[in-house]
């Protein structure tokens, strides 16, 4: 008999069951750990993509804000009296709504 067979034959049956249970537990833990790693990787990728989309959306909002500001400046330069009338009407309306 080889050494391993002799050792197994001389060990009590409970110990062999314990060894099998421990080996099975280790294998299960390894599978769970691998699943957790792949889940973590997917979550990190999703978070990275969400961050990129949020940055792109913020940049787009900034660009539109600048465009609207430029449009307003051109309108005021081209029609100063109309711009003054619109500002007066907006102020009057806001003051009326604020009284209620």
Instruction: Please indicate, yes or no, if residue 47 is contained in any of the structural domains.
Output: yes
Instruction: Please indicate, yes or no, if residue 80 is contained in any of the structural domains.
Output: no
Instruction: Please indicate, yes or no, if residue 39 is contained in any of the structural domains.
Output: yes
Instruction: Please indicate, yes or no, if residue 23 is contained in any of the structural domains.
Output: yes
Q: Report pLDDT digits (tens) over 6-65.
A: 655 565 666 688 888 888 999 999 999 999 999 999 999 999 999 999 999 999 999 999
* Continuous segment of H or E residues that includes residue 97: helix 80-99
**Number of separate domains in the chain:** 1
Cα(46)–Cα(65) distance, integer angstroms: 29
* Continuous segment of H or E residues that includes residue 28: helix 13-78
In this structure, what token pair is assigned to residue 12?
């009590």
Instruction: Please indicate, yes or no, if residue 91 is contained in any of the structural domains.
Output: no
pTM comes to 0.48
């Amino acid at each position: 008999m080889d050494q391993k067979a002799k050792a197994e034959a001389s060990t009590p049956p409970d110990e062999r069951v314990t060894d099998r249970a421990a080996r099975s537990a280790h294998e299960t833990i390894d599978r769970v750990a691998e699943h957790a790693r792949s889940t973590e990787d997917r979550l990190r990728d999703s978070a990275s993509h969400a961050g990129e989309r949020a940055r792109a959306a913020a940049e787009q909002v900034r660009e539109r804000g600048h465009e609207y500001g430029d449009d307003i400046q051109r309108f005021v330069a081209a029609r100063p009296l109309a711009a003054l009338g619109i500002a007066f009407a907006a102020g009057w309306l806001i003051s009326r709504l604020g009284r209620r």
